[in-house]
Amino acid sequence: MSAAKPALRAEPKVKAEPKSETVRGAASVAAAQHRYPSALSAVSQTKHSVLAKPRRDSGHSFQARVPVITGEATYRGLMPVDGVITGQLGANGSALTIKQRPRNSTIESVPELNGEIGFKDMLRVNGHIAGKVFSFKGTLIVDGSARVDALIDVAVAVINGTVNGDVVGHDRVELGPCGVINGNISTRSIAMKPGAVFQGACRMIKNENED
């Protein structure tokens, strides 16, 4: 009798093939790094910066405002700040950086400087100030968006914004087309552009050479 044949045969062992997709992917990345190193580094840096970017807290949003005044001046008074102050305050070479909350137009404007401001050559007002502004030979410029609730006593006053108070310009007073003065004016020479508003009395000062 012939030997009986087995009913089941063991299948031949097949060697596991390497993961071609992984190998191909790694090879393509290596080739791309070799060809375009700057592009891949920029992408990776962007990815890490996006992941590491902290969330901003909307309750503490501060921004740097335009300086209230521009020029060399001495100031004595109050400066209310609703924000962050950085820098040094001293007698020599001091500098301060102020970041305040954004203004809300629905709220009544509050003076950013309230006190006495004295200067020599030229001073530009960009914000809201109150108190007194004086200079024997200086020129005061009030920007169109500025508001001055103060007594002004200067040599030359150029008003493009709003002034609530008396203005003394020993040499000249100029009102721009958007200038508004609610107060009395005392000066030797006055010029008003069309559109300017003046509510008060005007007194002309005599020159020193006149009798």
pLDDT at 20: 47
φ, ψ of residue 25 to 5 degrees: the values are -65, -45
φ, ψ of residue 49 to 5 degrees: the values are -70, -35
pLDDT at 206: 83
Q: Which amino acid is at 21?
A: E
Per the domain annotation, does 182 fall within a domain?
yes
Token pair of 173, please? 């007073």
Structural domain count, the chain? 1
Q: What is the β-pairing status of strands 73-78 and 69-70?
A: unpaired
pLDDT at 201: 96
Task: Tell me the mean pLDDT per 10 residues along the chain, length 211.
Answer: 53 54 49 51 47 49 73 85 70 64 63 92 94 96 95 97 97 96 96 95 82 51
pLDDT at 167: 97
- Domain that residue 85 falls in: 60-204
Residues forming beta bridges with residue 185, ordered by sequence position:
167, 202
Asked if 115 and 129 touch (Cβ cutoff 8 Å), the reply is: no
Q: What element of type H or E holds 73?
A: strand 73-78
Per the domain annotation, does 129 fall within a domain?
yes
Token pair of 174, please? 């100029």
Per the domain annotation, does 26 fall within a domain?
no
pLDDT at 49: 45
pLDDT at 210: 59
Per the domain annotation, does 159 fall within a domain?
yes
Cβ count near 95 (within 10 Å): 9
Per the domain annotation, does 190 fall within a domain?
yes
